Amino acid sequence: MTISVLDNPIINNDWGCTNSMVNLYGYANPEQKPMAELWMGAHPKAPSSIITETNSESVELNRYIEANPAAVLGTVCAGKFANQLPFLFKVLSADSPLSIQSHPNKQQAEEGWQRENLAGIPLNAPNRNYKDDNHKPELVYAITEFHALNGFRDYQHTIALFNEIKGDHLSPIIDVLIQSPDSDGLRGFYHALMTHPAPTTLVDEALTAIHSLITQHPADYAHQPIWNLALQLNEKYPGDIGVLSPFLINYVVLQPGEAMFLTAGTLHAYLKGTALELMANSDNVLRGGLTPKHIDIPELFSTTVFEPKSFNHLKLSPQFDEHAEHTFLTSAEDFQFSVITLSGQKHSVHINTAEILFVLEGTVTVGNEQGEEQTLTKGQSAFIAAPCLAYELSGNGKVARATTPL
């Protein structure tokens, strides 16, 4: 069996939305819990399950792969990624902001994992930073309008935004960046913010200035969305230093069908909306605000890259083929993301490693020359093992495809 329907766990976090996945995909939520993430993959924290052909019993995908990794993943993928599925695929639905966060690169993750293991910190401990030894670049594809913060702003733009809201307490902090408008100055500026002994004082000073600015300027003033976002963040996390994040991190709104990519070390936060996330197979998060969870400032700084990201280059431009598939190319070696749109025609795909398909819209049938066939409706997903070699999609709908570029 090389085409298997997945049974995927749903993660309930306070920031999740109770009804988005219900309305979009018909998932059951009788207890009205916040449905934050649906995980599709083999991460041991919350693996998907499949029905095996041999005994018709459910088996967790990570265990299924462990039993014969070269056969399931393909020999090249198994050899390159230590016998593990290299990516983790998610549906993410945020009704309120997630934490300001960064992810480690591969070396940092390996060192952090080993260090915390040697220290005897349990995997489920609230102060545990590293849940595995992997890096975590990630791609986000908007299903609904999706609001996020992504990467440091240009130095001069950050200075201009803070100059509008600074007072006696914020002035000496922004002066650090004014005097050194470069990577070192950005690091020093952000460190002064994050380690200030009275963060609530800084936030209150900024909010007072924001209220005054809103009354002075028309609704279409360029900085109004940033001011309004800061006010909204303060309603959820009053006095949290992360409230000031929109003044130094790019605020981006993805429309449905748009995507963006985040490299390891990029400071970011997801604010509101439902999206697909495709990332390296990791759950490593270093947090810096807007959360009741563990914040480790030294570790956050050791993993964050203090370089601006151009706002004009945040969104990915899809590469269209001559048929029904368009691909969002990134620098990640662990994963590749594409979307296939079907309007009654058939679409053939040749593979040399394992893939996961998720149906965004409509009803789609997945079949191969060996006679295997699965029909999936929106919200359902399938795991395609490497020995499939090729499969054909048919029907009417839209399918998201996660694979590894080998």
Q: Is the pTM of this model over 0.85?
A: yes
Do 58 and 119 have their domain in common? yes
Q: Both 48 and 139 in a single domain?
A: yes
Amino acid identity for residue 51 in this structure: I
Q: Are residues 143 and 195 in the same domain?
A: no
> 43 and 78 share a domain?
yes
Cα separation, 162 vs 149, whole angstroms? 17
Does 2 reside within a domain?
A: no
**303 domain-assigned:** yes
Residues 56, 199 share a domain: no
Return the HEC string of 258-277: CEEEECCCCCEEEEEEEEEE
Indicate the residue type of 371.
G
288: its two tokens: 């810096």
39 and 143 within one domain: yes
Residue tagged active-site, from 63, 128, 187, 287? 287
- Each residue's pLDDT, cut to its tens digit, for the chain (406 residues) gives 899 999 999 999 999 999 999 999 999 999 999 999 999 999 999 999 997 665 578 899 999 999 999 999 999 999 999 999 999 999 999 999 989 999 999 999 999 999 999 999 999 899 999 999 999 999 999 999 999 999 999 999 999 999 999 999 999 999 999 999 999 999 999 999 999 999 999 999 999 999 999 999 988 889 999 999 999 999 999 999 999 999 999 999 999 999 999 999 999 999 999 999 999 999 899 999 999 889 999 999 999 999 999 999 999 998 887 678 999 999 999 999 999 999 999 999 999 999 999 999 999 999 999 999 999 999 999 999 999 999 999 999 999 999 999 9
**Residue 394 near residue 367 (C-beta atoms within 8 A):** yes
d(CA 325, CA 341): 7
Same-domain pairing of 171 and 57: no
Which residues span the domain enclosing 331?
319-403
Domain membership flag for residue 296: yes
Instruction: Report the C-alpha gap between 275 and 268 in whole angstroms.
Output: 15
Q: What length is written for the chain?
A: 406
Q: Does any domain span residue 249?
A: no
Give the strand pairing for 87-94 and 268-280: antiparallel
Q: Specify whether 325 is located in the same domain as 279.
A: no
Q: Which of 313, 329, 353 is the last residue of a domain?
A: 313
The residues, any chain, with a CB within 8 Å of residue 323's CB and separated by 6 or more, are: 347
Q: Are residues 328 and 289 in the same domain?
A: no
Question: Domain count of the chain?
Answer: 3
Residue 115 annotated among the catalytic residues of the structure: no
Domain final residue pick, 199, 218, 240: 240
Q: Indicate whether 128 and 267 sit together in one domain.
A: yes
The rounded distance, in Å, linking the Cα atoms of 198 and 300 is 20
